[in-house]
Amino acid sequence: MTQPFKKVHAITGMKDVLPDGSASWEQLEHTVRQWLAAYGYRNIRTPVLEHTRLFTRGIGEVTDIVEKEMYSFTDALNDEQLTMRPEFTAGIVRAAIENNILYDRPQRVYAMGPVFRHEKPQRGRYRQFHQIDVEALGFAGPDIDAELIVMLSRLWKTLGLADVRLELNSLGHAGERAAHREALVAYLEQHKAILDEEASRRMYTNPLRVLDTKNPAMQEMADNAPRLFDFLGAESLAHFDGVRKRLDDAGIGYTLNPRLVRGLDYYNLTVFEWVTDQLGAQGTICGGGRYDGLIELLGGKSAPAVGFAIGMERLLDLCQQSAGSAAAPECQVYMVHQSDEAQRVAAGLAEKLRDAGLAVIVHAGSSGFKSQFKKADASGATVAVILGADELASGKAGVKWLREQAPEGQAQQETIPQDRLVIELKQRV
Ligand code: ATP
Ligand code: MG
């Protein structure tokens, strides 16, 4: 005897997008692809699963992601340590090195899709979420850093988002960070008493991250800590200046945030985040920066690079607050019919309408006209096409406008010959 089946639920922090909600996703994806194409970015698709050590190396051992957020497991079939990607950059860099696409010419690439982090689920923070990830591989200058930021500002404008602001910082070069780090560790040692457990643990391994704390008790300490920015040399400052000039050229405002360090180990020089006040605690919708050391760190020939990632759930949340959302219609034309024979005629006509580019649903099964019209209304269709006994006998079809008023000069409901249906609806719907 079969056991009764215990209902399965989705995994905590992982969400379904249902048909009524998917239109906004598809619309955003469409807008994003057009936006990226306008700047010469091409799609790259890498696997969701990678070897764990790609991320431990690429993101850094002492980071939130690697310390506590990765979905890692042993592949029981061959004993390999694998991880569901928690971000795109490491995988894209691996693919670029492995396939040797980096060295003839630089590459502008993007990816869009799910990433996985074991975090505490809340608004704007999920365990499977989606990113739009954009990487410019092989570019060294501040021109491209600025271009990425200008590009993002265009996306916000296209999406009608006014309330997003830019925060900017420079993390300099490795040598400058080392000098700052020494000063910072000395400072943290003086303030040991107020460091929380995580900060005490990280003060020697990743002291910069200590400053990124969200612990209110440590804010003042973090505010007064030695600033990396004050350790930057002429070259780093010139790069930063190059970015800032170009943002000024484009009329893009920003706040300098010397405490902006980003969560991942691999950043240098320019780092930035776009934030909004409209999403509560999870207000960062995009983060990015330069990572000139990562390609070499992952075994490639040294090459500079810069990129960013947008959180799609947060972006959609923000878009919906700005504009509201409407479910997309299921079709443009809904066909109702009264007999088995009428259903077959309707099915044939529907194929012709689809040939003409219209989206059509033929009512499935048999039910009364009233119930069929209810379904037609609920489908969001613009018109219903009616095939009753009379229409069938006379080779005609009824056309009824469902949503708005019929276009000027046309009846709300009328009867037309079946062989005129395609031409009439193509013009009108
Ligand atoms: P946070 O400080 O909010 O944890 P992060 O620095 O970990 O963000 P990134 O690794 O920079 O985030 O990822 C880029 C973007 O992805 C973020 O700016 C955010 O919009 C989004 N994001 C990050 N984590 C999540 C999550 N758990 N759920 C939904 N979106 C997320
Ligand atoms: Mg995080």
* Residue 278 lies inside a defined structural domain of this protein: yes
CB 381 within 8 A of CB 361: yes
pLDDT at 325: 64
Q: Count up the domains in the chain and report the number.
A: 2
pLDDT at 409 over 80: no
pLDDT tens-digit map of 30-82 = 999 999 999 999 999 999 999 999 999 999 888 889 999 999 999 999 999 99
Q: Is the same domain home to 244 and 340?
A: no
- Residues 31 and 150 grouped into a single domain: yes
Distance CA 113, CA 128 (A): 10
Residues 154-162, mean pLDDT to the nearest whole number: 93
Assess if residue 358 is contained within a domain: yes
Distance 282 CA to ligand 2 centre (A): 10
Q: Which residues, 6+ apart, have CB-to-CB distance to 304 below 8 Å?
A: 138, 139, 140, 290, 292
pLDDT over 90 (residue 162)? no
What percentage of the chain has pLDDT greater than the value 70?
A: 97
Question: Ligand 1 pocket, 106 CB below 6 A?
Answer: no
Q: Are residues 343 and 311 in the same domain?
A: no
Chain centroid to Cα 76, Å, comes to 32
Q: What is the CATH number of the domain that holds 423?
A: 3.40.50.800
Q: Which domain holds residue 400?
A: 333-428
Instruction: Please give the helix or strand (H or E) that residue 284 lies within, else none.
Output: strand 284-290
Do 269 and 405 belong together in one domain? no
Q: From the alpha carbon of 282, which atom of ligand 1 is closest? A: 3
Residues 313 and 338 both lie in one domain: no
345 and 268 in a single domain? The answer is no
Q: Do 254 and 360 fall into the same domain? A: no
Please name the residue that has the structure tokens 């980096």.
Answer: 102
Joined together, the tokens standing for residue 265 give 């180990």
Q: What is the pTM of this model?
A: 0.87
- 190 in a structural domain: no
Does residue 309 belong to any structural domain of this protein? yes
Domain boundary among 278, 298, 323: 323
In the reported structure, the alpha carbon of residue 127 is separated from the centroid of ligand 2 by a whole-number distance in angstroms of 11
Residue 424 lies in a domain: yes
CA of 312 to the centre of ligand 1 (A): 10
Q: State the CATH number of the domain containing residue 119.
A: 3.30.930.10
194 within a domain of the structure (yes/no): no
Q: Is residue 378 part of a domain?
A: yes
- 282 in contact with ligand 1, CB cutoff 6 A: yes
Query: Mutual orientation of helices 19-37 and 142-158 as an angle, nearest 10°?
Result: 140
Judgement on whether residues 368 and 409 belong to the same structural domain of the protein: yes
pLDDT of residue 326: 67
Ligand 1 neighbour 50 (Cβ under 6 A): no
Domain stop point among 290, 323, 356: 323
- Whether residue 388 sits in one domain with residue 243: no
Let me know if residue 298 belongs to a domain. Answer: yes
Contact partners, residue 77, CB within 8 Å, separation at least 6? none
